[in-house]
Amino acid sequence: MSAEDLEKYETDMELQLYREYRDVVGLFSYVVETERRFYLTNTVDLQVRTVGGDAGGEVFFELTMADAWVWDMYRPARFVKNVRVLTFKDVNVEELAKSELELPHDRPGFPS
């Protein structure tokens, strides 16, 4: 396999992953970004922990998610039932905004 073939394969895999992300993102409420992975999930719990006591100890993060989707083109199955991540790096958790395409059902003139 040539370097060009390998590059084309990786480009195709990234495009397939992006399309899958686009199809599933509406199913989830949170985006979670760690130093190594990117997740979509509806359940996330982030705990800040300390090693060596509260005063002057090193801080790490314990992150647990259930029924998550992981952005990783090399995983054969991207849906994961339970995820637990321990990291000394920052974790970013964002709530996804609901689609602007949703019709507001509580406004006068809109069917319920």
Does residue 108 register a pLDDT over 60?
no
With beta carbons less than 8 A apart as the criterion, state whether 31 and 40 touch.
Answer: yes
* 85-95 residues labelled b (16+ CB within 10 A) or e (exposed): beeeeebebee
pLDDT at res. 95: 93
**For residue range 95-105, what is the model confidence (pLDDT) as tens digits?**
998 764 454 55
Q: What's the CA gap between 13 and 33, in Å, rounded?
A: 21
**Residue 112 pLDDT greater than 70, yes or no:** no
| Mean of pLDDT values over 27-31 | 94
Per-residue pLDDT, 56: 72
pLDDT digits (tens, 9 = 90+) for 58-95: 889 999 999 999 999 888 889 999 999 999 998 999 99
